[in-house]
Amino acid sequence: MADSVLRAAVNVDIDGLYLYDRIHGHTGSAGNAAGFDAAAHDPRAWTRGVPRFLDLFARAGVAGTFFVVAQDLDHADVRAVLRDAVAAGHEIGSHSLTHPYDLSRLSAEAQRTELFAARERLRDATGQAVSGFRAPGYVLSPMLLQTVADVGHAWDSSRFPCPAYQAAKAAAIGLYRATGKPSGSIPEAPGVWLGPRTPYRERLPDGRDIVELPIGVLPGVRWPVIGTSVIVAGELGRLAMQPVLDRTDWVNFELHAIDLLDHAGDELPARLLAQPDQRVPLRSKWKVLLRMLERLAATHSVRTLGQWAQTV
């Protein structure tokens, strides 16, 4: 791929609403979801958020990557939406089996169980080889990255070299702990905060390497280019960053299914207002994300993460 090509990818982490309870300390669960029953959990991230993203991507003319927590497939409605995403030509990546935020701290055996089972379930459900992985909470370790490769993944997209995001995350985790409501989330090691911003090959402990496709940040200031930051900034904020974004050589625009849920219209629980994007009405979020994607498609070559991985 010529150096002059401006590369972009668009992807969505489909995190169920139960995972936000873990982040904000409502369940006290910091690890695996023992006894998880998908049918008993609220599926609206899937049944309302994902169809809106399929519509959004179709309108913008882009193909995306959806990262799936494989245990969610226990819910029949989730399986139906997943089939729609595959039929629309989108790529499916693994977001682990149960989304344990401390996956990077688990034993090698537990990591392998999570990743192998997730990849097998997603392959069976989609009929596709699942080549990509994103870690819960974006947190990796050398052993976890080794396991990602060992179970058959060809690329990873978990590195988020964004000091502003990582510092805010660490502060929030500390605040939850201090108030007696420990978050299930864990902080990322400081060495990642200023890591490579563009795709590269990362060396594994056994000497092999794996393609890493970092989540998007603006050059220099390393401001996050993710759904939450764009939604909260609004149209004026998007326009302010657009001149830099138009020239940015790698834009991995990462979103979450909850980004296209409407707090009032979808009658979501009040506790989800802890998520900044939930304080913005769906109409406003839709407009700014559509304009962002349309502009990205006009200035960059937009491909799936798996397609870009083959060029690294």
- CATH 3.20.20.370 assigned to 7-309: yes
Average pLDDT, stretch 99-107? 96
Q: Report pLDDT for 31.
A: 37
Confidence of residue 36 (pLDDT cuts 50, 70, 90): low
Whether the predicted pLDDT of 34 surpasses 70: no
Whether the predicted pLDDT of 82 surpasses 80: yes
Q: What are φ and ψ of residue 37, in 5° steps? A: -125, 100
Q: Report pLDDT for 26.
A: 82
Average pLDDT, stretch 102-109? 96
Q: What is the rounded CA–CA span in Å between residue 59 and residue 119?
A: 30
The pTM for the full model equals 0.95
Q: Which two tokens stand for residue 215?
A: 């989540």
Q: What is the pLDDT of residues 244-285, one digit of tens each?
A: 999 999 999 999 999 999 999 999 999 999 999 999 999 999
Confidence of residue 41 (pLDDT cuts 50, 70, 90): confident
CA distances to 171, 287, 304 from 230, in Å: 21, 11, 20
Q: What is the rounded CA–CA span in Å between residue 236 and residue 123?
A: 41
Q: Report pLDDT for 35.
A: 56
Whole-number percent of the chain with pLDDT over 70? 94
CA distances to 82, 94, 143, 206, 239 from 14, in Å: 10, 10, 25, 31, 27
Q: What is the pLDDT of residues 140-190, one digit of tens each?
A: 999 999 999 999 999 999 999 999 999 999 999 999 999 888 999 999 988
- Is residue 71 within 8 A of residue 115, CB to CB? The reply is no
Q: What is the rounded CA–CA span in Å between residue 170 and residue 193?
A: 12
Q: What are φ and ψ of residue 51, in 5° steps? A: -60, -35
Q: Report pLDDT for 105.
A: 96
Confidence of residue 38 (pLDDT cuts 50, 70, 90): low
Whether the predicted pLDDT of 33 surpasses 50: no
Whether the predicted pLDDT of 293 surpasses 90: yes
